Amino acid sequence: MHIAMIGAGYVGLVSATCFADFGHDVVCIDKDPDRLNALRQGKIPIFEPGLEDLAKSNAEAGRLRFGDDVGKAARGADIVFLAVGTPSRHGDGYADLTFVYEAARDIAPHLAGFTVVVTKSTVPVGTGDEVERIIRDANPAAEFTVVSNPEFLREGSAIEDFKRPDRIIVGTDDTRAQAIMEDVYRPLGANNTPVLFVDRRTAELTKYASNAFLAMKITFINEMADLCERVGADVLGVARGMGMDARIGNRFLDAGPGYGGSCFPKDSTALTNMAQDSDSPLRLVETTVAINDQRRRAMARKVIRACGGRVRGRRIGILGLTFKPGTDDMREAPSIPIIRTLLDAGAVIRAYDPAANAAAHHTLREIEICDDPYDVAQDAIGLAVITEWEEFKSLDLERLGRQMDPMSNVLVDLRNMFDPAEVSKAGLTYEAVGRGNLNRASEAIKFAAE
C-alpha cells in the first residue's frame, strides 16, 4: 500500500513511521524546511521514546521517506492522510482548520486513480464534507473519497499506542474505502484491535467526545481532591476505590494541577463552541473547561501558601515543565500559568525539566532554567513538582533539602509522586494534592502492594 502522510508532527511522524513498520511504502511531507532537513539527516525533531530508532530502521529499509513534493506523494498514493495541526483559533477557541484546508488544496490537483483521503487530524463535525468540496472544486475529475480516522495516540507512549490501540475508528460509508482502510490496518489484526466503522460525522465527533470525557474525569478527581483536603480524606484512596469499579476504570483519576497539552484544552473548547453553535450546549464540558482554567492559578496559590504566604523576592524551584512526562511538548502545560502566577506574586523562579529545557527557554523567558535538578533547589524556600518524571523518584531528597533555604524547605508535590514518610525523613515539609489524611498523622492509609 502506498501512503502519503501530510504533516510530520507528533501524529504524522509517528503514524508514518508505524505504517512503514507495518510494511507499507510511506512518504511523509512537511512544509517546515528545518524539520525536513533534520528528518532527512535521521534526526527526529520531537522527543518521543523509541521513535528515532524505528524511523531510522524503516528509512534504511526504504519504506519511509521525507520530502516536500506533495504532488509526487499524492500522485503515487492509494491513501493520503492529513495529519496537520488544528490549533485553537486565536481569540475564539474554534478549531483553526487553515492547515487542513490548505493541505486539501495542495493534494487536490495531483490525485490519480482512486484515492482515499483520510483526515487523521482532530476536526469538527462537517470538516470531511468541506475537504471533499475543496478537492471536488479543484479537481472535478478526481476519483476519491474522504474518510475520517481520528488518532488517539498519546505523546510519550505514541508508538505503543499506535501499534496497540484500544480501537480504530473509521468514518466512511464507502465500501471501497472500507476495504482499503482494513488493508492499511491489517497488521493490527494480530493484536485483535477492533476496527469500528461508522459514518464520517460520527467518527469526527467520537474523537472530541473521548477527549472531553477524559478531561472531565481528570477534573472530577481534581475537585474531589480539594474536598479530600477539607474533610481529611485521601484522594489516592478515593481514586483507588473508585477505579476498582470496572464501570469507572482506574485511569485518568490522578489528582494534579489540571490537564494540559496539545489536545485536551483546545479540543474541549472547540467542542463546546461546536455544541453551542448547534443549539445543543454541553454544560458539563463547559464547566470542565472553566474549572481547569481556574485550577492552575489555584495550584500556584497552594504553592505560595505552603511557602508561608509571602514569596516576593524569594526563590521557588520548579521540577518538571512539560504537560506530562515522556514528551518535550510545552503546549498548554500547566507549568506555564502556575509559574506566571508565582512570578506575579514576586517569586524568583528556577526550573528543571529532563526534556523541555530548550523549549522552556522560549516559552518562559523570565525564569532561570537549570541543567541540574539540585541547582533548582539552591536557596529555594520551596520546591514544586509539576510533572511526574520518573527520574524525580530517585532524587536524593536529603541533598535537595540541604541546598534549600534553612528556614523553609517545603516540597509541594502537585503529582502525589513521593512517599510522604520518605520526604519527612529527609527533613522536608511535604504538601500534596488531596491528601487531607496526612494531617491526621497516625491514620495514614496503607494500600496493598501494587
d(CA 441, CA 279) in angstroms, rounded, equals 51
Q: Among 12, 256, 326, 401, which residue interacts with ligand NAD (rule: CB under 6 A)?
A: 12
Residues of this chain, 96-115, that bind ligand NAD according to CB under 6 A:
99, 102-103, 106
Q: Among 4, 8, 184, 432, which residue interacts with ligand NAD (rule: CB under 6 A)?
A: 8
Asked whether position 10 contacts ligand NAD by CB under 6 A, the answer is yes
Q: Between 254 and 267, name the residue whose CB sits nearer to ligand NAD.
A: 267
Q: How many helices (H) and strands (E) does the chain have?
A: 17, 14
Alpha-carbon separation of residue 167 from 182, 190, 196, 203, 245 (angstroms): 13, 13, 7, 12, 22
DSSP notation for 259-313:
--SSSHHHHHHHHHHHHHHTT---HHHHHHHHHHHHHHHHHHHHHHHHTTS--TT
Q: Among 21, 27, 28, 35, which residue interacts with ligand NAD (rule: CB under 6 A)?
A: 35
Q: Which three cell numbers mark 414?
A: 502537585
Alpha-carbon separation of residue 326 from 159, 288, 367, 388 (angstroms): 12, 25, 22, 10
Window contacting ligand NAD (CB under 6 A); options: 28-36, 51-59, 182-190, 245-253: 28-36
Shortest CB 404 distance to ligand NAD, Å: 35
Q: Report which of 370, 178, 155, 369 is spatially closest to residue 264, judged by C-alpha positions.
A: 155
| The amino acid at 86 | T
Window contacting ligand NAD (CB under 6 A); options: 24-32, 274-282, 312-320, 415-423: 24-32
Q: Between 17 and 262, name the residue whose CB sits nearer to ligand NAD.
A: 262
- Per-residue three-class SS string for 3-68: EEEECCCHHHHHHHHHHHHCCCEEEEECCCHHHHHHHHCCCCCCCCCCHHHHHHHHHHCCCEEEEC
263 is catalytic: yes
Q: Among 5, 16, 26, 29, which residue interacts with ligand NAD (rule: CB under 6 A)?
A: 29
Q: Between 151 and 328, name the residue whose CB sits nearer to ligand NAD.
A: 151
Asked whether position 9 contacts ligand NAD by CB under 6 A, the answer is yes
Q: Between 116 and 404, name the residue whose CB sits nearer to ligand NAD.
A: 116
Asked whether position 86 contacts ligand NAD by CB under 6 A, the answer is yes
Choice among 28, 263, 307, 370 that is catalytic: 263
d(CA 292, CA 212) in angstroms, rounded, equals 12
Window contacting ligand NAD (CB under 6 A); options: 82-90, 243-251, 342-350, 427-435: 82-90
Asked whether position 161 contacts ligand NAD by CB under 6 A, the answer is no
Q: Among 1, 2, 25, 31, which residue interacts with ligand NAD (rule: CB under 6 A)?
A: 31
Residue whose cell numbers read 473519497? 145
Binding stretches for ligand NAD (CB under 6 A): 6-12, 29-32, 35, 83-86, 99, 102-103, 106, 121-122, 151, 153, 155, 262-263
What are the residue numbers of the active site?
A: 263
